Structure 1
């Protein structure tokens, strides 16, 4: 039965939810929210003066492509001799050569800062090249410049303009395990370059004399508002001495980030900029997690309450951003909302579908409560059983089923009563009467019934193994009895000898004297003699040989080869398992034998370790006990008849459906699993619970019990144990080929057939 009401992970909403979260994460990663974040910062900057005034920075735009470029720079240097000079212009080798010669001929106390794409001077902070120690593990958070080229110049410092896709301006960049200032990081210090220092802690800070500039956790700053207006050469020359700049920025429009860099320098100059410390970054992720968790709980409320709670959450985000902004911290809230709102919409859709599902479930339970007594009274309860197994029951339905279970018990239908008591016990709904009843049935049924071969006819109330008392008998036809070997699926197995040729045989028997008392016994007798015909027509090295068939008094008998060795059921405990390569070898022999049998239209239907005799001397295994075998195209077995050993039954056997060779494949998969691990894939304390696990539950991986097993063991057992018959190996030949390939690949051994 279903344990929960339409769990999210079993619906298409779950995959849509995963897709939405992945899509939002990808959009954030590639920067699709950057413009929205910038608009958010612009809105915040409305709180503070938006226009930069009285700046000590002058921005001059020139044409750097013509021969007059150097002359323009030279003129500006002469006009403002005390200003620091920073060039934001594209590559111009001719101008740079002229500029270097000019600087060499007229030494100056100031250094010229030159912006580049990927060239840098080996400039270091005054506190030396940073050996970051423990902090080096976190240095990757700072942007790197690919394919950096180091440049040496006497009076010029080259620094890269670091490209960012999140709207930030980088003051630092990294190379290997060291940090260096970017163009903006050097330009902000103006004429204090030689005194620029870096402090490394929970965030980065640049120092020069008494000036300090925070660079946050990632070495970046965030700004908004207007940038400095640029002036042309003539307007710059006309500037009065009182308005002379401390930093002269000469640009030609080559760098796309020019406006952002200049705006950042102006904001840094005024101390009006934003950074991201690690508490803010951590808070962003915590807000995402909190928001996603909130959406899960939101769907439990009415739509009106959901809207009110979401409004409160947005208000909390806005207030948090404002508080962070007042502390010069940038807390982005749009990514939080980008995660929360789509997830909320998806979960709301799932919730409405779940409510419809619950309503339909309740209607189904009501219909089942009304119909179940009628089906029981007309002896057609098996038709409603699948519906019970596929619903999430309520207390009313449980009460109805309990009442039917009591009626079944009163009519001596113990099998149905046990199934219904177990069904109630598995619903998770507390019902004291059912728990007590199930406990009684649980103790009575026991494990013994699960390990023996069962033949359950439709309507049979007390399923059990078909055995008969030990008979005191000395001969079966010409065969002299020497002792008792054990019990088979249908009767006692004796050891005997043929005195004429001194051949020792195993004699399987069936008591015939009860035929008058059992209306189904005629079918059992027919099935017994059919084994002789079935197995007698099979000739294979790994199938037991049949010598004779007959009856002696009240007993029918089959004389067959007396095998030496031990049943594989002797090797099922974890401490005495056979080596894995040998198990593969034996399974290859069994698959070869069953492949042959299936081609003769014979399905065994009782594959288990106890029916396989292993002779260690010749490393051969022989398949025995065709006691419930059927001829596939001539089977007289009625639909609804259940045959086999419960632990090893296939789902179709458990359900009483017609079976073919693929049922043997499932049973052999169980045997293979148990021989490798010492554990059963499907266990339980009763026939009903074992049957439930076989048809409904997923088994543990065989490597759960022994991690040393090769991957092929998992792959082969998983495929053989598929509940969907169409997903298993379709033939024993296919099963055998998989085992042979695995044996050669994993153990470097050839099969012994």
Structure 2
């Protein structure tokens, strides 16, 4: 349940933890990303009110239902709605120290404290108990039948000075839980191991450096698998992998047995084994497929020539890319790029020439052709049918040729160029239907990205424009429209008169101090408003601040 949706009955409120610090704010973006919390209890089955009235404490207990049968850790604190509840094991440890629920101090993301005893736990306040092995098929903890106790067949002295847990142990009545030592235990025996570890201070600790060590081990294994193993012979690689695996196991068990520190090195070990098998399988497959690739190469070249002769240039390019790029294939690709130019598909021609340059940078005049064709492609990117192919070669939508209608971008008519940046340009335009003058910022996303990456960038571009469009502040430019035309993404915004502050950043053209302070106040007010709307401007600089001294 979410915070506020689940509530405990009134008679159970006394069993909730009161001294809880560091509770994350659900409305805070920072807390939602960086804040620490504890596991949630979706459903709780509380004791009935007559029983709870006489109980000295109550805590949550995992009975192994719902498929959660593997136990390695136990959370000391769980959240149920707005309430934080102790685990049963934590309450047993507290009562053993003669402490009530209200005496338990909880610092979310840090630790749980009983008086001066700080319980070793991880960031989610989970403990790692020690599980004890029994002897001669007997459990580590002595068990008694409840019938024997009721019938007084067990002396009361057997329980004197002991912590006694009452629970079901018959397999037909419980959901057995699987422990790290390989033994299957009923929930009450799992709790006994946990409580004993707490009382005897035999918990495994997971210090901060243990997490760092695991990450470093993963990074080291990744580097070994990516850069070293592929260069080794089969036998040498197998020997080094075995030594690394033995080293990880030794470190893991040394710290667990000698220092009671649990470093999670099984994940790096698994990554090492799986990665080694995968790389060797890859080498075997590459060797087997190399002969097949050579046979297919000649067939793909013939198909590429056939497609090119039929004018199916995209299919021809696909076939040529499957062939090893020798001199003959590069010649075919170069002619393919020329064919794309003849069909005025300049962006595809650029892709072909760039592919050639990647294979052989000094091939013919391919580098010069990339530059020339890219300029024409940029010029025609937004023109499409509106320009009729008469766009200027300087990459702008604005055309100086007489007799040509002004280009359109969406429903806006382009009047002139205002400026240009690394990935786009800014134009002055207007909406012919309502006569509104706007500044239009364009971005040639299709020239920079493709496939799934292009779709992701476009979605992020429109999402950020939508976010900015919700802002309504006198010192923030108003967003009127956002769209896409001929693979050219654009944002239409209010056209602001004046210049950016760079004009007043020169020593001989500085603004008076009063004006500077006034500008700072207005900019700070705008940023404060945006911040309260969960919008962060990540590029505040004089060039992005427009100032009209006349107004």
TM-score, structure 2 as length reference = 0.47
TM-score, structure 1 as length reference = 0.36
- The higher radius of gyration belongs to 1
Bigger RCO of structures 1 and 2 (CA < 8 A, at least 6 apart): 1
